[in-house]
């Protein structure tokens, strides 16, 4: 009898244990399921472009490179950090759009040719009137274009090319441009002069050569051309604006290390600034593009 009662109690205990085990299993499974459902949602909302997620050169800082001297109208008074001038203002706007406070933006000097050569960079982005090209994409990354640019030919009053109206009229001229630029490429590919173009390390040296009448003209992007004729040359004139090479719109882009984890986030910021009209407003404020006749 006692044995029978013990067996009955044991059986009841086992039954209760089994029910408890089943209840525990259901509860645990439900909790696990809820956690599993919640985790992807949290992960999905993680911002890949949050500052903490960005692979920055210096943690918490946005490092921007440009050349020295930094020319107008792209920079004001040769001081990129003051946010004045078109590129200085664009760089500040991009940094702000990405969430950086002004105090967390730092500038470093990067020569033009160093910015576009392969290898590890000492900056997060570089901004220095660098035209986007497929050839350059082999060495570096580019953001979306922040400025649609055209090339212009400048000279001095009374020069051999003053008053010319067609690209073909420039074939016999001695022209010059800064080394490694699309301005130089425009001379060789579009104008195709009979004399080899002169190459200069800086635009200042090109302007000096024009003043000395060592060359007949300079090719530069339109805003720079206006600055040269207005501020650097006593009798400077714009001969005209070259047509787009191959019919494609030339654009300036911010330069990044090849394969940079920042490229998509920087492009996202540039695209937003174009969409909300900021880039257009800054161009109106800092750049002059009117009055450059189109060369035929």
Hey, where are the domains in the chain? 1-46, 51-149+249-286, 151-243
Place of tokens 């005209």: 240
User: Distance from first CA to last CA of the chain, Å, rounded?
Assistant: 117
Average pLDDT rounded to a whole number, residues 142-155: 96
The architecture that CATH gives domain 151-243 is 3-Layer(aba) Sandwich (3.40)
Mean pLDDT of 264-280: 98
Taking the C-alpha atoms of residue 237 and residue 293, their distance in angstroms, rounded to an integer, is 11
Place of tokens 């020569």: 111
Starting at the edge strand found earlier in the chain, the sheet holding 236-241 runs 198-200, 175-178, 217-221, 151-156, 236-241
Pairing of strands 250-257, 140-149: antiparallel
Answer whether 151's CB lies under 8 Å from 274's CB.
Answer: no
CATH number at 51-149+249-286: 3.40.190.10
Tokens of 155: 């000279």
DSSP structure class, residue 242? P
| Secondary structure (3-state) at 235 | coil
How much is the pTM? Answer: 0.74
Instruction: State the pLDDT confidence band at 29, using cuts at 50, 70 and 90.
Output: very low
Residue 39 in this model has a pLDDT that exceeds 80: no
Burial grade of 115 (CB within 10 A; 0-12, 13-18, 19 or more): buried
Task: Assign 237 to helix, strand or coil.
Answer: strand
- Regarding predicted confidence, which is higher, 27 or 155? 155
Structure tokens belonging to residue 104: 């967390």
Rounded distance between C-alpha atoms, residue 90 and residue 73, angstroms: 12
Top pLDDT among 98 and 36 is at 98
Task: Place 292 in a pLDDT band, splitting at 50, 70 and 90.
Answer: confident
Reading the block at residue 4, the tokens are 């029978």
Give the lowest-confidence range in 14-23, 111-120, 203-212: 14-23
pLDDT tier for residue 5 given thresholds of 50, 70 and 90? very low
- Of the CA atoms within 13 Å of residue 255, those in its CB half-sphere come to 31
What is the pLDDT at residue 47? 87
Contact of 276 with 93, CB cutoff 8 Å: no
Q: Which of 227, 243, 234, 242 is nearest to 288 (CA)?
A: 227
Given a cut of 90, whether residue 16 has pLDDT beyond it is no
Q: What is the pLDDT of residues 215-248, one digit of tens each?
A: 999 999 999 999 999 999 999 999 999 988 776 7
Q: Which helix (H) or strand (E) element contains residue 28?
A: helix 2-44
């Amino acid at each position: 009898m006692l044995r029978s009662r013990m067996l009955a109690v044991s059986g009841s205990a086992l039954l209760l244990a089994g029910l408890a085990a089943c209840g525990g299993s259901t509860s645990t499974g439900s909790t696990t399921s809820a956690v599993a459902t919640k985790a992807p949602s949290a992960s999905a909302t993680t911002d890949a472009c949050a500052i903490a997620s960005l692979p920055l050169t210096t943690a918490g800082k946005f490092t921007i490179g440009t050349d020295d001297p930094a020319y107008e109208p792209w920079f004001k008074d040769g001081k990129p950090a003051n946010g004045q001038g078109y590129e200085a203002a664009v760089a500040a706007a991009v940094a702000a759009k990405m969430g950086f406070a002004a105090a967390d933006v730092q500038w470093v000097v990067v020569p033009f040719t160093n910015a576009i050569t392969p290898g590890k960079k000492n900056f997060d982005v570089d901004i220095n009137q660098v035209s986007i090209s497929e050839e350059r994409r082999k060495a570096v990354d580019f953001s979306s274009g922040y400025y649609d640019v055209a090339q212009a030919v400048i000279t001095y009053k009374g020069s051999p090319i003053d008053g010319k109206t067609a690209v073909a009229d420039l074939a016999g001229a001695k022209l010059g441009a800064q080394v490694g630029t699309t301005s130089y490429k425009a001379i060789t590919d579009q104008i195709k002069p009979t004399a080899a173009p002169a190459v200069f390390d800086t635009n200042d040296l090109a302007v000096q050569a024009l003043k000395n009448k060592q060359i007949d003209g300079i090719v530069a992007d339109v805003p720079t051309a206006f600055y040269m004729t207005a501020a650097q040359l006593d009798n400077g004139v714009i001969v005209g604006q070259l047509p787009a090479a191959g019919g494609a719109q030339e654009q300036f882009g911010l330069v990044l290390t090849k394969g940079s984890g920042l490229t998509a986030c920087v492009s996202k910021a540039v695209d937003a600034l174009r969409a909300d009209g900021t880039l257009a407003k800054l161009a109106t404020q800092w750049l002059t593009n009117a009055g450059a006749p189109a060369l035929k």
